[in-house]
């Protein structure tokens, strides 16, 4: 799924000062905001990244959490062909099925426990539609910012179904990076971690983690404690770099599920607007113009039974930066 808000907010993420490693996890709680994605029966998502308190966790720059939604009531996901630049999209479902088509020629399905990762780079277009087999739609849509040297890389699409790892009352599926002895083969352009973790009732799980990584703990269901911080459903806990281990406690009498994200701090300034990531206002304006002019930059999505998604109007001002808070 993509950012199809009709009035998207512009954002720019900046560099931080260096941070010395610390022994104990420092956790900030990021609360979501509800964002309707448009249409007569707007699909609403809970967005925790980006926001004023934090715009990046590693290279993770966008996190939407949605469902469980009754498709009969909401209409499901219907996102016409639309463009992307400067990023990778990471699609991960808990329930349901989404049909993906892109201008690379990929025709694939997003299913629970299976990763679809699409690289936009210089430009790509794709569509996403929940299938007739879907009665409940529930998952996350994530974006990864590409480093400057790879921002114009070629289009790409990868699919991966990780095998579950079981340990300490938990089931772990590592879809990006390495965790708990499981390694994902999926290629990224900066050091990243992405994993789904299901914790048994009242279980505690301690994981060895890279102390150079920032981490995000996004709670899908249940109540989870990280260090001394309790995270409710749909909240995202930002864990500062430093710890070599992360302990997750399920405070619930039912299974809890989280998505664990991580990466080295992203030390570049980027501008985000609509479905584009660039390095300044002119990058965004050029990408929008290319899309509206049907440029070959984005290609065409074959066999989609409908029109492309038009770009919203640019703001009547230069897109200005938003930064992460300085690291102590």
Sign of the C-alpha dihedral computed for residues 115, 120, 126 and 130 taken in this order: positive
Which of the four pLDDT bands, split at 50, 70 and 90, describes residue 7?
low
Residue 24 pLDDT exceeds 90: no
pLDDT at 169: 95
Instruction: Give me the mean pLDDT over the 41-55 stretch.
Output: 87
Closest C-alpha among 75, 67, 70 to residue 92? 67
Instruction: Give me the mean pLDDT over the 300-322 stretch.
Output: 91
Least confident of 32-41, 149-158, 161-170, 213-222: 32-41
Least confident of 23-37, 72-86, 296-310: 23-37
CB 268 within 8 A of CB 147: yes
Instruction: Give me the mean pLDDT over the 67-83 stretch.
Output: 94
Cα gap 145→193, rounded to integer Å: 14
Closest C-alpha among 20, 74, 16 to residue 43? 74
Reading the block at residue 91, the tokens are 């699609």
Which residue has better confidence, 53 or 60? 60
On average, the pLDDT of the chain sits at 92
pLDDT at 327: 66
Least confident of 1-10, 60-69, 305-314: 1-10
Peptide bond between residue 230 and the one before it cis (omega within 30 degrees of 0): no
pLDDT at 13: 44
pLDDT at 23: 58
Instruction: Give me the mean pLDDT over the 227-235 stretch.
Output: 96
Q: Characterize the bridge pairing of strands 170-176 and 136-145.
A: unpaired
Cβ contacts of residue 303 below 8 Å, gap of 6+? 101, 107
pLDDT at 12: 42
pLDDT tens per residue across span 251-287: 999 999 999 999 999 999 899 999 999 999 999 999 9
Cα gap 85→75, rounded to integer Å: 28
């Amino acid at each position: 799924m993509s950012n199809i808000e009709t009035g998207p907010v512009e954002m720019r993420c900046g560099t931080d000062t260096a941070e010395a490693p610390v022994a104990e996890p420092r956790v900030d709680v990021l609360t979501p905001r509800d964002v309707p994605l448009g249409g007569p029966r707007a699909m609403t998502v809970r967005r925790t990244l980006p926001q004023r308190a934090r715009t990046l966790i590693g290279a993770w720059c966008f996190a939407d959490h949605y469902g469980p939604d009754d498709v009969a009531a909401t209409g499901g996901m219907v996102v016409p062909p639309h463009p992307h630049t400067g990023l990778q999209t990471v699609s991960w479902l808990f329930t349901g099925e989404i049909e993906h088509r892109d201008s690379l020629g990929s025709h694939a399905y997003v299913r629970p426990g299976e990763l679809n990762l699409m690289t936009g780079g210089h430009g790509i277009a794709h569509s996403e539609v929940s299938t007739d087999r879907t009665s409940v739609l529930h998952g996350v849509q994530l974006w990864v910012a590409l480093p400057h040297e790879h921002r114009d890389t070629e289009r790409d699409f990868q699919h991966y179904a990780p095998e579950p790892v079981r340990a300490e009352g938990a089931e772990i599926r590592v879809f990006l990076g390495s965790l708990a002895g499981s390694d994902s083969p999926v290629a990224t352009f900066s050091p990243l971690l992405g994993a789904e973790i299901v914790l048994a009732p009242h279980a505690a799980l301690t994981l060895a983690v890279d102390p150079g990584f920032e981490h995000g703990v996004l709670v899908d269901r249940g109540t989870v404690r990280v260090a001394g911080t309790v995270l409710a459903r749909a909240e995202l806990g930002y864990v500062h770099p430093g710890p070599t281990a992360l302990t997750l406690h399920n405070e619930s009498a039912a299974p809890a599920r989280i998505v664990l994200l991580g990466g080295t701090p992203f030390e570049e300034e980027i501008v985000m607007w609509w479905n584009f990531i660039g390095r300044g206002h002119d990058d965004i304006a050029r990408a929008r113009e290319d899309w509206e002019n049907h440029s070959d930059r984005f290609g065409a999505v074959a066999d989609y039974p409908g029109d492309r998604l038009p770009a919203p109007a640019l703001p009547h001002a230069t897109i200005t930066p938003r930064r992460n808070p300085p690291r102590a």
